[in-house]
Amino acid sequence: MPELPEVETIRRYLNASLPHWQVQAVVHLDERMVKHSPVGPEEIRDRLTGATFTRVERMGKFLLLSMSTNGALLLHLGMSGRLVLEDSVVPRQRHTHLVLDLGSRELRLVDPRRFGRIAWATRPYSQSLHLGVDPLSRRFSGQVLYQLLAGRTTAIKTALLNQQLVAGIGNIYADEALYAARIHPARVAGHLTREEVDRLARAIRKVLRVSLAHRGTSFSDYVDALGHPGANQYYLNVYGREQLACRRCKNLIQREVLGGRSSHFCPRCQPQLPPAVTTMVEQGARHAEI
């Protein structure tokens, strides 16, 4: 699934390319993709036709294509969606569910699994999306994250995937951030110390920025708005590396299912018990041996 770095990579290109382009026609709009929209497919067509793009924004994993008609086309790429800007002469791919004619070019949404979403949005967008803090925003900090996690009894991995707490993090970057912070994904979120949460907040920012520098992570579906894959998959430390050697300690990376989602971690670098408890257990074991 495209996560924050992938969606932000697309946003940056489109925001530099789309403003002032006019939608000549809505060539195709798959009504099955219109979900949780205050207006239906026909009205979306009407509001887009003849409108001009003004800017492209991102909220979490959502793209908001603001139009001159005082609203925005809201898009979510789901599990396998691609949003590409193509020359009109380029043949359309299978599973293309939205085509906007911009004259010599077309904006196309391709989604083989149809888990994405098309909707119309009006400001303030945040009220309808119910998203948490963006981890790349100025609002995000260790203190804010600590307050969000306080009292939560779910696993920290599960908490990081909750879009109402922190918006934009998915399976890949939750695993990578927890590894960087040396925190086991099954640790209880509300039991983390302030120092651990500060470390985690820094790790979240770092792994997201590194992925952005590599234009996102591509395994099978994700490409940017030009149709190019990202390169961050070559720099991952744990995600997708089950039974491969940890880059830090050479122990084997493990994979477990938490809350219905796969989690990748190093059992040595990310002990399931907090460091102080782990030390006490090890000391107790040594005393028992004596």
CA distance 86 to 227: 9
Out of 11, 47, 58, 61, the active site residue is 61
Q: Which helix (H) or strand (E) holds 201?
A: helix 194-213
Annotation says 229 is catalytic: no
**Are the beta carbons of 40 and 33 closer than 8 angstroms?**
no
CA distance 222 to 226: 11
Selection from 30, 41, 111 nearest residue 77 by Cα: 111
SS (HEC) of 112-171? CCCCCEEEEECCCHHHHHCCCECCCCCCCCHHHHHHHHCCCCCEHHHHHCCCCCECCCCH
| Binding residue positions for DNA | 95, 113, 152
Phi, psi (5° rounding) for residue 189? -55, -45
CA distance 189 to 197: 9
CA atoms within 13 A on the CB side of 230: 30
Annotation says 61 is catalytic: yes
Out of 202, 261, 268, 274, the active site residue is 261
Q: 144: which 2 tokens?
A: 């804010």
| Binding residue positions | 95, 113, 152
Annotation says 282 is catalytic: no
CA distance 6 to 170: 11
Question: Annotated catalytic sites, by residue?
Answer: 2-3, 61, 261
